[in-house]
Amino acid sequence: MNGNRHRPTAHARTGFALGIAAYALWGVLPIYFKIIEVLPATDIVAHRVIWSLPFLGVLILAFEGWPKVRAALKQRRTIGILTLTAALIGTNWLLYVHAVTSGHILAASFGYYLNPLANVLLGRFVLHEKLNRLQWSAVAIAAAGICVLAAGALSQLWLSLALCATFALYGLLRKIVAADAITGLAIETMILFPLALLWLVWRREHGAAVMGTTETLTILLLLAGIVSTTPLLLFTAAAKRLQYSTLGMLQFIAPTLQFLIAMLYGERVTLAHAIAFPAIWIALVLYVTALLGSPRLPQPPE
């Protein structure tokens, strides 16, 4: 009886750890894409899709997940949602890789700074999740910081907004779809695989070195599946365990790391960034304080 009472808290704390791990890995991902930026963004994304499929196949075999995949493939609603999430995550990947390889890591960072607010709002008004006063205060402070960032980043605002919208909607749909992290991502990858393969075949027929021009680059491309799939698996597993609003606030970890990496690559930091950066982190500290100060971590609605 006692053990049962504590299970929801352990469940949510596991989700909290998974979310932190996912966003930390996403935060340092620009370094990987900067190393392989000699290739077009479309080729990099195609490799992400193609080399993710065998990696996911190994995971499914290891966890005996093929019955779940077959069951999901028989559900028309599940396939419909996963087709939409595949389109959303494919678009998000393309926009993100384009941003990094074209020298706009700060614009990508801003897009993912917007994302937590979108998640909180979707969690509140779509999933009917509850926030206390301290959490709403955190949201307000973060919104103020983001407004300052928006005012100072209008030239690339379209890119930031598109990254925010595609990933917020992706996370929401993955939360409600009847498929676990590995099953859902495997089906999404199966949906995108033919397009990715056709793209690389077409590129090769037109003389492009789709596997890269050096042995090192080829090895890095072969690792694209593991590099891109691992944080996404952690994220979707966390989304099943946490309130969407809580997951949204944790997302500030990734763009903050991206922000610091952008500085390392020489992107210009403006006064708007200098004002917004502390505001956003104050908001995160307040939100996490409110979360951990609760008698039990909030659970996502069943």
The pLDDT score that the predictor gives to residue 293 is 64
The pLDDT score that the predictor gives to residue 153 is 64
Supply the DSSP string of 109-152, one letter for each residue.
HHHHHHHHHHHHHHHHHTS-----HHHHHHHHHHHHHHHHHHHT
Is pLDDT of 165 > 60? yes
Is residue 148 within 8 A of residue 267, CB to CB? The reply is no
The pLDDT score that the predictor gives to residue 275 is 83
Residues 2, 243, 228, 197: is their CA dihedral positive or negative?
Answer: positive
Whole-angstrom distance, CA of residue 236 vs CA of residue 70: 19
Would you call 8 helix, strand, or coil by DSSP?
A: helix
Question: Which position has the token pair 């069951």?
Answer: 71
Phi, psi values for residue 295, rounded to 5°:
-55, -35
Amino acid making up residue 225: G
Whole-angstrom distance, CA of residue 11 vs CA of residue 257: 27
Q: Looking at residues 184-198, what average pLDDT do you find?
A: 95
Question: Which position has the token pair 């950066």?
Answer: 277
Phi, psi values for residue 110, rounded to 5°:
-65, -40
For residues 300 and 56, the model is more confident at: 56
At 212-270, the pLDDT tens digits run: 778 888 899 989 888 888 998 888 888 878 876 677 678 778 888 988 899 888 888 77
Question: Which position has the token pair 């193609």?
Answer: 50
Whole-angstrom distance, CA of residue 220 vs CA of residue 215: 9
Whole-angstrom distance, CA of residue 176 vs CA of residue 16: 18
pLDDT band at residue 5 using 50, 70 and 90 as cut-offs:
very low
Residues 203, 207, 208, 211, Cα dihedral to 10°: 90
The pLDDT score that the predictor gives to residue 294 is 59
Q: Looking at residues 20-29, what average pLDDT do you find?
A: 92
- For the chain, domain boundaries: 2-292
SS3 per-residue string spanning 220-264: HHHCHHHHHHHHHHHHHHHHHHCCHHHHHHHCCHHHHHHHHHHHH
pLDDT band at residue 188 using 50, 70 and 90 as cut-offs:
very high
Is pLDDT of 137 > 90? no
Whole-angstrom distance, CA of residue 201 vs CA of residue 210: 9
